[in-house]
Amino acid sequence: MKNSCYPRMGRLSASYRNQYPTLGTTYATYNASFDMPAELLQGGIGVNLTNDIQGDGILNRFSVDGIYSYALVINREITINAGFQASYVQRSLKVSNLIYPDGLDGSTGIYMGHLEAISDRTAGYPDFSVGFLGYSRTWYAGLAVHHLTRPNISFSRNYREPLPRKYTLHGGFFIYIFEKRFGREAVRLNPSLVLLQQGRHRQVNIGMEAFRKGLYTGIWLRQRRDFGLATAMVVAGYEFDRFRFGYSYDFNVANPWKSNVGMGAHEITFLYIFEYKSSRKKKYKAIKCPKI
């Protein structure tokens, strides 16, 4: 069946995340993306840019992702999306700015310089991912697999360090609460679950968000590999016309950081949907799509 639920307007989004803010900007992530409909391809295309800066720029990761999505409408209630992503990742390590023990004077503690000249290092590699999403007006569920080819992320030419595949399984549903008097939607609740597995690392995220008249707020709980509680996240935002703003903060509730509020993470997100204009007068039947 021909797709009638893929985005019919271009979307621009951006986000900023500062982890461990009490230490400054030792781990910051910047992201920007744009996607638009591609009717001839019965889906959409997009580009995504991400820059991870760690240790005030000592370790840097920059990636450019090209994305294609295809939507298949099963019936008036159910749609299945398939997404394919091809990326190029550039990693850099500024080792020349690091202080090593053999460069310290034993009596004064003054840095005298490293005994051997060490140059900065860079490494680049292609990466590929795929994902699937099924949804209706009341539920959604999906699976994504990143790093399909397990690319080599080592800075050394003599050593191979394959990046393990990351598997993400997520799902949720909507609960609509209507006003008794007028029959209008008063509150919409969205409980969700996200499971992640990469190598030996495992993570479980459980959350609930509530939406009312453009405002939304919620709370998420993140569990460690041993299913112990690690992080509590609060989220809030506002939607108006074609704009959307969001903010979240992660509270560490596990040792040794639970007593230090500043060891969490701030995250700010922004979305703008461009106005759709077309000279065609073709009408499409409305199909309820999941929230972005």
Give the tens place of pLDDT for each residue, 99-153.
655 555 445 444 444 444 456 788 899 999 999 999 999 999 999 999 999 999 9
Q: How many CB atoms lie within 10 A of CB 210?
A: 15
pLDDT digits (tens, 9 = 90+) for 191-235: 999 999 999 888 999 999 999 988 999 999 988 666 567 788 999
Cis bond leading into 37, ω under 30°? no
The reply to whether 258 falls in a domain is yes
* Residue 96 predicted with pLDDT over 90: no
What total of structural domains would you count in the chain?
A: 1
- The answer to whether position 55 is within a domain reads yes
Task: Tell me what pLDDT residue 110 has.
Answer: 47
Q: 191: cis peptide before it, omega within 30°?
A: no
> Which domain range does residue 109 map to?
11-146+153-160+242-273
pTM of the model: 0.81
C-beta of residue 30 within 8 angstroms of C-beta of residue 16: yes
Instruction: Residue count of the chain, please give it.
Output: 292
Residue 212 domain flag:
no
Residues β-bridged to residue 27 = 19, 54
Q: Is the model more confident about 6 or about 80?
A: 80
Asked whether residue 292 is assigned to any structural domain, the reply reads no
Q: Is residue 41, in this structure, part of any structural domain at all?
A: yes
